[in-house]
Amino acid sequence: MDGGVYMEESRIVEVKREILADNTQAADEFRAARRADGTFMMDIMGSPGAGKTSLLLALIERLRGGDDPLSVGVIEADLESDVDALKIKEAGVDSVELNTRGVCHVEMGMVEKAFAAFGDRRYDCMFLENIGNLVCPADFDTGCHTRVMLLSVPEGYDKVYKYPPMFAVVDALVVTKCDYLPLNPDFNMEALHEAARALNPGLEVFEVSARTGEGMDVFAQWVRDRRTATVQG
């Protein structure tokens, strides 16, 4: 068989475009308000099982410690369950569970409602753990100052070719589960860096393992620097 079949637009794409216009305006307002009140917000995206919750726990440990401890809150989005929200709570971190009722991404209305649920409490850093999905969340601005995506070693480096939109919109790519690299000799880290930067020349790339701690201090320092640049910039 030669050649492929290319789709015209799905009806759902037209509708999404309308929704996105409203969403982007609300996101810009929310982002400015958080900058003004000193809350640095970061959106964490990636496939199911990419290791978002584990990375978050390892990151928070580093942000709350050291010479300049930061306060942290988490918005934990899930389709239905509270599995991840409970893990965050068990670590003693203030969190709000955002249940999208099956929706595949987080929209601004959801972020505003979750943020309001914290009441008067304010934090130096607030993280949004997005829905596990390498496709849809890329389209929806969540009003955060920084967006990062995770790609785990077991998923395979070729995801950069197959799911380019998310690689193109984030500020950083965090390659997770790097302790799996010896088991994945086909994982071509160099090709991943090259292809990701071709999509997004300003992209920062980190290689970490939340399990062993490898690379986590460097990533945590980058998050601190982004926060400083945002709220004091």
Which residues of the shown chain bind its own copies in the complex (CB under 8 A)?
1, 3-7, 9-13, 15-16, 19, 47-49, 78-85, 89, 94-104, 107, 109-110, 113-114, 117-118, 131-136, 152, 154-156, 158-159, 161-165, 177, 180, 183
Q: Which is nearer to its own copies, 34 or 226 (CB)?
A: 34
Using the Cα atoms of residue 214, residue 218, residue 219 and residue 220 in order, give the sign of their dihedral. Answer: positive
Give the C-alpha separation, 19 to 13, whole Å: 10
Query: Residue 136: how many CB atoms within 10 A of its CB?
Result: 17
Closest distance of CB 103 from its own copies, Å: 5
Give the C-alpha separation, 169 to 123, whole Å: 25
**Which runs of E-coded beta strand occur in 79-170?**
94-99, 125-132, 146-152
Closest distance of CB 77 from its own copies, Å: 9
Q: Which is nearer to its own copies, 102 or 233 (CB)?
A: 102
Closest distance of CB 36 from its own copies, Å: 23
Nearest in space to 95 (alpha carbons), one of 120, 75, 119:
75
The tokens describing 144, both together, are 């955060």
Give the residue ranges of DSSP H helices in 8-99: 11-36, 52-64, 83-90
Q: Which is nearer to its own copies, 41 or 110 (CB)?
A: 110
Q: Which is nearer to its own copies, 111 or 216 (CB)?
A: 111
Closest distance of CB 118 from its own copies, Å: 7
Q: Which is nearer to its own copies, 40 or 123 (CB)?
A: 123
Closest distance of CB 134 from its own copies, Å: 5
